[in-house]
Amino acid sequence: MTKEEIVSKLPYADPFLFVDQITEVSQKHIKGHYTFDETSDFYRGHFVNFPVTPGVILLECMMQIGLVSLGIYLLRDKSFDLRGNSTVAMVENEARFYKPVFPNEKVTVVSDLEYFRFHKLKSKVKMLNADNELVCSGIFSGILKPGDE
């Protein structure tokens, strides 16, 4: 499975797709990027006159790359289709925020697999800004259930 195929299998579309590119992927690791466009609707009302990316959007970006994209890769040999016959749900997250992300900033999300058993995926995920500074980090887990099971 190619990195482009992973992105194409995500069950999201604009304006809620927070993955521009997957640059690395393996059985235990994934890395991807996203640039927060200044025209995104959430900036209009989040800290008026000083727009900052909402933390919940940062978490969503981290989960789309670090959990869902990795899960798609891990289940690549099964009939796993989040757009049609499969399900995904966040189970838990523990996150810490260190720096803000501003409009037009490009972030990098790096995720290292903790475990994947019985359809539960758990990963350590971090987000870095363009200066390679830690923006936020966390441990996330979710259930990824293929449609044929």
120 beta partners: 117, 143
56 DSSP assignment: H
Residues recognised as catalytic: 46
Phi-psi category of 6—alpha, beta or left, where left has phi over 0 and alpha has psi -120 to 50?
alpha
Question: How many Cβ atoms are within 10 Å of 20's Cβ, its own excluded?
Answer: 15
